[in-house]
Amino acid sequence: MLSLGISFLTLGLVNPKIGTQLETVKREGVDIVFAIDVSKSMLAEDIAPNRLEKSKRLASAIINQLASDRIGIIAYAAQAIPQLPITTDYGAAKMFLQALNTNMLSSQGTALDAALDLSGTFFDDEDQTNRVVFLISDGEDHSEEGDSAAERAANMGIRIFTFGVGTDEGAPIPIKRNGVVESYKKEMNGETVITKRNSLILQEIAEAADGEYVDGNDTQAVVDFVLETLKNMDKKEFEAKKFVSYKDQFQAFLFAGFLLILLEIFLFETKTKWVQRLNLFNEK
């Protein structure tokens, strides 16, 4: 009986899982598209280590604070290309972020309108959720269609929040080889190009799409702003999945084990009258 009791206790400590339990998991959140500028001006080093790396770290810091929101990524320069469709796989999102570079697109410039129009195609019309675009750029726009694209996005129910990286004083665009600066990008007349952050156009785009502009150089301020903004948005269910989990059954084994041990103590270590009468071993 003692051996059986110890065996049951051992099984209980192993915590066997028997049977199934059906549960429903609901995901509620906001659809977010990160539109990140990868034009050559993002190589300027007026914000360390440079504007593009700062943008990638900023997006990554935001993703670290998300819970059940879905995210997508767009890279753009003179044109926009999708990098990651709407997903809840934050690990994949960070991997695609790290792969962004200024050599992804051969044509240069900063076509904000192309990025915003492409963002609109990321959202599923049949699965209505709050729709948000986080546009990270230095604001140097050569398309002159950013405002109209923002208005088109607003008509689709998309809110655009812009984060400006870089400084208003600007900096030259370095040309590097093996990590070493060889020269700086120059104009046709030989003068060094100075690229400056254009906060005004980023503010106009945000206002046209019911959003706000935030200085992207301060990562913590941006993260705090994003968390507060998302907290005040209505969350809508966009995914519900059912999965099977196993029930813990250790309680029965522990109960049986303790019961057997108690019985063994009571029956064989306590000298009761009826046990003495048995005289099993011919002691008298």
**How does pLDDT run across 58-76, given as a tens digit for each residue?**
999 999 999 888 899 999 8
> What pLDDT, on a 0 to 100 scale, did the predictor assign at position 245?
64
Residue 63 pLDDT: 95
Residue 21 is predicted with a pLDDT of 63
Question: Binning pLDDT at 50, 70 and 90, where does residue 278 land?
Answer: low
Q: For 142-175, write each residue's pLDDT tens digit.
A: 566 778 888 888 888 899 999 999 998 999 989 8
Range of weakest confidence among 4-13, 41-50, 238-247 = 238-247
C-alpha 133/C-alpha 232 separation (Å) is 16
Q: How confident is the model at residue 128 (pLDDT cuts 50, 70, 90)?
A: low
Would you state the CATH architecture of domain 25-239?
3-Layer(aba) Sandwich (3.40)
Token pair belonging to 107: 């044509």
Q: Which residues contact 257 (CB under 8 A, 6 or more apart)?
A: 5, 6, 7, 8, 9, 10, 11, 12
> pLDDT tens digits, residue range 73-96?
999 888 889 999 988 889 999 999
Cα four-point dihedral sign 246, 248, 250, 252? negative
Q: Which of 46-55, 121-130, 162-171, 204-213 has the lowest mean pLDDT?
A: 121-130
Q: Under 8 Å CB-to-CB from 37, ≥6 apart: which residues?
A: 51, 52, 55, 76, 77, 110, 115, 136, 137, 138
Q: Delimit the CATH 3.40.50.410 region(s) of the chain.
A: 25-239
Task: Give the integer Cα–Cα distance in Å for 36 and 24.
Answer: 36
